[in-house]
């Protein structure tokens, strides 16, 4: 084994178990005979050392990863805190809340979001690419249809938008939870709906969102005239 193997073996991201006692690493597809376990995160983390690059290159890779994670987390935490404090509490629940109370609510919501993110970081539901796919799938099934129809359709109203978001979000999240958390042993292609994996089910949730939003909007009163005029102005900006 090369030197880097022993160092990264201490992290638990790569492990060797000599099952047959021959002193050699057997890396095969058969799970009973395979003696090497590799976490896919190591492909990024250990690559500079495997390539025998200088230590400062390894430091740059680590710094780049941390910078990307922190910048993304900071932006999302800002969106979460302001959405809860201003859009939900200030606009819907308690319009008379003070600026100090609004700031306190934003801090509390940001703290809760950090704790939830930390738990999923320690116990991730899948490989990092899978987690990103889940996030984009949930966004596609909830926000995307409403944004598109809100711009290009004057008939979509509040009831239709809310119903579509709830149906799309519930369907996608329940599908992911069912296969990734409740019954992971069933997470195979033969058990998926229409052959769609949990990572890609957001597409079907998005379609359901479009359908439910359109149907509910046409069964309920149309938006106010000033709202329709606002949409018209968005289509043809001055």
Model pLDDT for residues 7-26, shown as the tens digit of each residue:
888 888 888 888 888 888 88
Q: What are the φ and ψ backbone dihedral angles of 236, each rounded to 5 degrees?
A: -125, 80
Our measurement of the distance from residue 42's CA atom to the centroid of its chain's CA atoms, rounded to an integer in Å, reads 21
Q: What are phi and psi of 20, to 5 degrees?
A: -100, 0
User: Which residues lie across from 15 on neighbouring strands?
Assistant: 37
Distance CA 166, CA 177 (A): 16
Examine the pLDDT at 55 and tell me if it is beyond 90: no
Q: How much is the pTM?
A: 0.66
Residue 154 to residue 234: CA distance in whole angstroms: 11
Helix/strand/coil for 97: coil
Give bridge partners of residue 37 from the DSSP assignment.
15
Question: For residue 237, is pLDDT > 70?
Answer: no
Render pLDDT for 111-149 as a digit per residue (tens, 0 to 9): 999 998 888 888 877 777 788 888 899 999 998 998 888
Do 158 and 224 form a contact (C-beta atoms < 8 A)? no
- Cα 133–Cα 135–Cα 138 angle in degrees, nearest 5: 105
Nearest to 133 by CA among 74, 178, 176: 176
117-144 burial, b at 16+ Cβ within 10 Å, e below that, comes to eeeeeeeeebeeebeebbeebbebbbeb
- In the predicted model, what is the mean pLDDT of the chain? 86
pLDDT for residue 10: 83
Determine the length of the chain. Answer: 238
Per-residue confidence (pLDDT) for residue 59, from 0 to 100: 84
pLDDT at 161 over 80: yes
Alpha-carbon span 35 to 31, nearest angstrom: 8
Query: Is it the case that residue 236 has pLDDT exceeding 80?
Result: no
Contact status, residue 13 vs residue 39, Cβ threshold 8 Å: yes
Q: How confident is the model at residue 105 (pLDDT cuts 50, 70, 90)?
A: very high
């Amino acid at each position: 084994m090369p030197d880097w193997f022993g160092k990264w073996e201490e992290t638990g991201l790569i492990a060797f178990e000599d099952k047959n006692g021959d002193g050699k690493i057997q890396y095969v597809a058969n799970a009973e005979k395979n003696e090497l376990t590799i976490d896919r995160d190591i492909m990024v983390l250990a690559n500079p050392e495997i390539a025998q690059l200088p230590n400062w290159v390894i430091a740059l890779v680590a710094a780049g990863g941390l910078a990307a994670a922190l910048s993304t987390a900071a932006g999302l935490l800002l969106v979460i805190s302001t959405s809860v404090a201003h859009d939900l509490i200030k606009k819907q629940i308690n319009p008379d809340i003070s600026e100090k109370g609004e700031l306190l609510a934003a801090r509390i919501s940001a703290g809760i979001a950090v704790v939830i993110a930390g738990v999923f970081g320690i116990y991730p539901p899948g490989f990092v690419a899978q987690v990103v796919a889940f996030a984009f799938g949930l966004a596609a099934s909830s926000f995307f249809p409403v944004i598109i129809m809100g711009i290009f359709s004057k008939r979509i109203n509040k009831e239709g938008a809310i119903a579509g978001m709830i149906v799309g979000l519930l369907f996608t999240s329940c599908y992911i939870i069912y296969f990734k958390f409740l019954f992971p042993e069933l997470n195979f292609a033969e058990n998926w709906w229409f052959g769609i994996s949990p990572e890609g089910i957001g597409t079907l949730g998005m379609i359901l969102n479009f359908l439910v939003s359109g149907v509910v909007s046409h069964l309920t009163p149309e938006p106010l005239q000033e709202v329709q005029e606002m949409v018209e102005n968005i289509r043809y900006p001055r």
